[in-house]
Amino acid sequence: MKQPLKGPHHFTGITRDVTTNVDFWCRVMGLRFVKNTLNFETTFRYHTYFGDEEGNPGSVVTFLEFKEAPVGVPGDGDIQRLILRVGSYDSLEYWMDRLIANQHHSEMLRLDPTQPQSLVFWDPEGHEVELMVSDSTDTPLVAEADDIPAEHRILGIEGARSFTTKEEQLPFAQHLGFRDDGYRLVLDAERSGRWYFSPPPGRPSGDGRVGVWHHVAYDAGDGAETQAARDEANEGVRPWTKIFDHYFFDSCYSMSPGGRMEICTTGPGFQLDEKLEDLGDRLCLSPRVEPLRAKLESELTLIVNPRPRNKGKGTSTAPPAAVDSSPNGAPATEPSSVG
């Protein structure tokens, strides 16, 4: 692409139990709870964000709250797994033991010398996750977690594994700058991104269901760069939406042969309305939705940050610091579907 993508930005699933969601991804997986906010397509549903110590692009895993969404499994053309990086085979052994201690099943993939070594498991709501010993030389994106040895902590996003073939995904991905690399597609960028593939299972798509990853996002820079990347991407084999204001970054979307993909701005990021030491400790609202704060705080399930940076501080419901009051572009009506 003339306007290249910078690498993986975040990965998003669907939750209908935010309490369990936050406990697992923050306490068990050792990620920081970097933003407690709302889904910017609605004015009443949570959107939880987890990542490295600062919520840097390339580390972030997020979840859209849809309490009424049915449980499902990924099917043909869906993203099968989020792939996260770890540093060694010993880390896979560590994570198997940690998951056992927290009553979660897992499966080691280690018997094929032509493939990376991985550990596969499911989060409490059925999202499939793969921890991979990656050959990436990217700078690690790590969250501090006192109860997880430094050498075994999550190092960032490797990419997606989808229920499609490499050949079917190649024209879409190649237009965005990915190259064919044997059994996978690779984006060589500021942060490398990889796309892996599994044989389609022969069942319908589960898009929009709990347990099925909603999308993978790659960032393109500032607003002008992202607009240029979107316009160039839209000239490829699949159409892209317009760019929407999501407050912490702006986003557009397409349906690839291997699942939904987002191109977004790199920032402004999660310290737009909170200091680093406060990330995840309170409900943050965009200026557009701030007038609903009292109503939301009386109706929403209270979320407590399992890993606050200031361990002596309780969860705060104080409104966020003053920010740019320009409205975001999300519609105020209830969506008819998760997509």
Note whether residue 124 is domain-resident.
yes
Label residue 310 by pLDDT band (50, 70, 90).
confident
**24, 30 contact by CB (below 8 A):** no
pTM of the full structure: 0.92
CA distance 276 to 286: 18
- Which residue is it, tokens 């705060």? 316
Domain span including residue 192: 7-264
Lookup: tokens for 177: 């700058």
User: Does some domain include residue 326?
Assistant: no
In a domain, 246, yes or no: yes
Domain presence at residue 105:
yes
Of residues 320 and 188, the one with the higher pLDDT is 188
On whether residue 308 sits in a domain, the answer given is: no
- List CB contacts of 114: < 8 A, sequence separation 6 or more: 183
Query: Which runs of consecutive H residues, i.e. helices, occur in 274-324?
Result: 293-299
Comparing CA positions, the residue from 339, 42, 83 lying closest to residue 207 is 339
What pLDDT score does 319 carry? 41
Q: Which residues does 199 contact at the CB level (< 8 Å), separation at least 6?
A: 163, 165
Whether the Cβ atoms of residue 167 and residue 141 lie closer than 8 Å to each other: no
CA 83 from centroid of its chain's CA atoms: 10
Q: Total domain count for the chain?
A: 1
Residue 70 lies in a domain: yes
Q: What string of DSSP letters covers 54-75?
A: T--TTSEEEEEE-TTPPB----
Nearest in space to 195 (alpha carbons), one of 207, 182, 204: 182
On the 0-12 / 13-18 / 19+ scale of CB atoms within 10 A, 302 is: exposed
285 in a structural domain: no
Q: Evaluate whether residue 17 is within a structural domain.
A: yes
Q: Are the beta carbons of 36 and 282 closer than 8 angstroms?
A: yes
Long-range contacts at 147-151 (CB < 8 A, ≥ 24 apart): 147/30, 148/30, 148/98, 149/94, 151/87, 151/88, 151/90, 151/91
- Return the percentage of the chain with pLDDT > 70, whole number: 91
CATH number at residue 19: 3.10.180.10
Average pLDDT rounded to a whole number, residues 54-82: 98
The average pLDDT across 130-153 equals 98
Which residues on adjacent β-strands are paired with residue 184?
181
Question: What pLDDT does residue 306 have?
Answer: 95
- The whole-number average pLDDT for the span 171-187 is 98
- Model pLDDT for residues 200-245, shown as the tens digit of each residue: 999 999 999 999 999 999 999 999 999 999 999 999 999 999 999 9
